[in-house]
Amino acid sequence: MVVVTHELVLDDKRRPAHELHLPAGVYALEGEDEEYWYLRSGSALTLLDLHRGGQTERHNLRGGVALGKYSTRSVPAAVYIDAQGTDKVLVWKLGQDFMGGEGRDWRRSF
């Protein structure tokens, strides 16, 4: 289990065209593969498409956080969403900024 202590807002840094909002709450372990543990959010993730002129499109997505099993991975964590069936699609890479927030922005129980 992972607990996100407050809403995390991620953007594509320089001139943001997208924002991804990870809601606060419990992310329960729902599965794993050889590379990641998959932890599902109890609430929908929100993706905002930011357009010039202030127009914003909002998408509510089912998914969560994938934590890498090895600290030496080039992508130590990611955000995933549901695909067809039980498949998952990694849609947002989380790097050392996210990992450095462990204990402050989020914590794990394993």
d(CA 45, CA 56): 16
Average pLDDT, the chain: 91
d(CA 19, CA 49): 7
d(CA 95, CA 76): 6
Range of the domain at 66: 2-108
Q: In terms of residues, how long is the chain?
A: 110
Q: Which residues contact 95 (CB under 8 A, 6 or more apart)?
A: 75, 76, 77
* Predicted pLDDT of residue 9: 93
Domain count, the chain: 1
- Mean pLDDT in residue range 41-66: 89
> Using one digit for the tens of pLDDT, what is the confidence trace for 75-90?
999 999 998 888 899 9
